[in-house]
Structure 1
Amino acid sequence: MKTGDLLIIGGNEEKCKKGDILAAFIKLSKKMPGPVGILPAASKIPEQVSSDYKKVFSSLGAEDLIVIDASSKAKAETQSTLDAVSELSALFITGGDQKRLSDFIRGTSLHRLLTERWRSGMLIGGTSAGASIMGKTMIIYSEMKSNDDHLFIEMGKGFGFVDSLLIDQHFSQRGRFGRLIGAVAENKELMGIGIDENTAILVSENKFKVIGEHQVFVIDGNSGTLVDSVKTERGGEEMTITDFKLHTLTSGYSFDLTSRKILSGKEELK
């Protein structure tokens, strides 16, 4: 059976009838029967976030919406939560803090069920923190240390729907190129995907297509080399790297995750 699609959004998507990304999510959700679930566990204001998405999804034609409460590991283990998720046609994971998602859900019965349902064809969408959590490995936090201008990056574990991808969001808007290429240099088995705001990738099997307003960046270190890593006087780390590949895509373009090349329709770009 074909796995479900993944709609991975860079955050700050348009929440209106003309918003291409959320309209695409609701359209795709109708491929299977059942309600659309909203998972706001990443947010510290889950009621407000859920209410906002219920309004926009209703305006886009969703008729049956339910909120999945998984704001603790205990709630992620309850039978009522598992029963609700078992009936969904699609699940939307809101923004907030991806560490909360990992702390509350990763390794629980809910996590195992989400993986099983996705493998059975259920659509899963996520924005901002809900985008980062899609990978097996994710960036939890980064900070520029002012005492030596060193970028500190904290890594963590995600849900693992796309094992080979390291997803970063709000990418151009928050200047995150440095942190993503640094993370890929330290984890060369991963391909870095930086997604701008109001932009998304729709992952279907081994390809993704870009939709939305801005760009998606692909950082491929598979053939590259981490030449050197130097510790600064204050414990920071600076790298010399070479032969990394960079791809940038705008709306309508697709990328083959197996060949690691941009596609235009069914034709490969030379």
Structure 2
Amino acid sequence: MTYSTNDLGTAQLSRPSRTTHLVLFAVLMISLLGTSTIEAQQAASLPKVGPERGSLVIVGGAMRSAEIYERFIDLAGGPDAHIVLVPTAGGAEEYDEFYQGMNAWRDHGARNLTLLHTTDPAEADTDAFVEPLKRAAGVFFFGGRQWRLVDAYGGTKAEQAFQEVLDRGGVIGGSSAGASIQGSFLVRGDTRTNTIMMGDHQRGFGYLRDVGIDQHVLMRNRQFDLIEVIETHPELLGIGIDEDTALVVQGDQAQVIGKSFVLVYDNQVTTGENGKFYFLAPGDRL
């Protein structure tokens, strides 16, 4: 219905014509189709595996390469960027400013470091604990046992704050256990031993979706271990990273840096009697 006035200034209601209905319907359909097309294009452009924003630096352990440190610091915004270091996977109850893991970061030029640690998920779920993460441009998880990161931070405000660093365009990295935690499937997450590939903890923090990440793969002769994981979970992509080597991920694009190789396990080609994984060397892209 439309609203109008007559010559006397009194209000009148008049019924719209059939033509008006058709025009309005056409305009509505064009609007809906246009919105649907835009949304479909936006959805198609979103990363399927990697983060929508920010970067990941996934290191296979024994991190010594200056190239890896420098890439992480650069992605965080430079030497003065605020970087939060998380040593929780190492298993100690307490860490202080003299923790040796901080020294290498200082030696490579990082000047604004915060050490963040707890083993208590109740503490990790407080605003006071996550306050340093609100200012962080980067987060780095040290090595140890990856299930300790899940027990301390899984489902807490801290886990959410880690994700928010990435969502702001920051960088998340980690070495060894700190690499595996970045996948959605947690490889070697058993509390009894790290030789069990599919243990009592199987949920990682999921910065890479539908991915399981192993580390130290060549140095510790682990190159065949991920095969059983993707045979059991064929929806997963397996990524194995050797020592002092990193996979740098932005969206669905990745590059290998460092000293050794990254191994990729795709269920389409890796499983079966003649299955094989393939190698990516430094400089290669995925």
- 1:19 maps to 2:66: yes
Which residue identity lines up with residue 88 of structure 1 in the other structure? A
Q: Out of 36, 39, 42, which is 2:83 matched to? A: 36
What is residue 284 of structure 2 aligned with on the other side? 253
68-77 or 84-93: bigger deviation: 68-77
What is residue 267 of structure 2 aligned with on the other side? 221
Which residue identity lines up with residue 173 of structure 2 in the other structure? G
Query: What RMSD in Å do the two structures reach over aligned CA positions?
Result: 2.5
Q: Out of 94, 101, 119, which is 2:142 matched to? A: 94
Rate the CA distance shift 1:97–1:152 in 2: closer, same or farther, 3 A.
closer
Higher share in helix: 2
1:23, distance to aligned residue in structure 2 (A):
2.2
Rate the CA distance shift 1:83–1:48 in 2: closer, same or farther, 3 A.
closer
- 1:82-139 per-residue CA deviation (whole Å, 9 max, x = no partner) reads 1110100101100011010111111111111211221221100100000000011111
Matched pairs, number: 231
SS at structure 1 position matched to 2:88: coil
What is residue 47 of structure 2 aligned with on the other side? none
Which residue identity lines up with residue 114 of structure 2 in the other structure? I
178-187 or 31-40: bigger deviation: 31-40
Rate the CA distance shift 1:173–1:120 in 2: closer, same or farther, 3 A.
same
Rate the CA distance shift 1:87–1:131 in 2: closer, same or farther, 3 A.
same
Which residue identity lines up with residue 39 of structure 1 in the other structure? V
Q: TM (normalized to structure 1)?
A: 0.78
Rate the CA distance shift 1:222–1:158 in 2: closer, same or farther, 3 A.
same
What is residue 130 of structure 1 aligned with on the other side? 178
Rate the CA distance shift 1:10–1:97 in 2: closer, same or farther, 3 A.
same
Equivalent-residue separation in structure 2 for 1:170 and 1:93 (angstroms):
16
Equivalent-residue separation in structure 2 for 1:152 and 1:8 (angstroms):
19
Q: Sequence identity, in percent?
A: 30
33-42 or 44-53: bigger deviation: 44-53
Query: Where does structure 1 lack aligned partners over 5 or more consecutive residues?
Result: 145-150, 226-240, 256-270
1:19, distance to aligned residue in structure 2 (A):
2.3
Equivalent-residue separation in structure 1 for 2:95 and 2:136 (angstroms):
20
1:52, distance to aligned residue in structure 2 (A):
2.1
Equivalent-residue separation in structure 1 for 2:71 and 2:87 (angstroms):
20
Which residue identity lines up with residue 180 of structure 1 in the other structure? L
SS at structure 2 position matched to 1:3: coil
Equivalent-residue separation in structure 1 for 2:156 and 2:123 (angstroms):
10
- 1:180 maps to 2:202: no
- 1:53 maps to 2:53: no
Equivalent-residue separation in structure 2 for 1:242 and 1:88 (angstroms):
47
SS at structure 2 position matched to 1:27: helix
What is residue 190 of structure 1 aligned with on the other side? 236
1:32, distance to aligned residue in structure 2 (A):
10
What is residue 257 of structure 2 aligned with on the other side? 211
Rate the CA distance shift 1:128–1:49 in 2: closer, same or farther, 3 A.
farther
**CA contact 1:28–1:123 (8 Å) conserved in 2:** yes
For 1:131-146, what aligned pairs fall within 5 Å after superposition?
131-139=179-187, 140-141=189-190
- 1:113 maps to 2:161: yes
Higher share in strand: 1
SS at structure 2 position matched to 1:101: helix
**CA contact 1:168–1:195 (8 Å) conserved in 2:** yes
Query: Where does structure 2 lack aligned partners over 5 or more consecutive residues?
Result: 1-50
SS at structure 2 position matched to 1:121: coil
**CA contact 1:10–1:196 (8 Å) conserved in 2:** yes
What is residue 85 of structure 1 aligned with on the other side? 133
Equivalent-residue separation in structure 1 for 2:140 and 2:114 (angstroms):
10
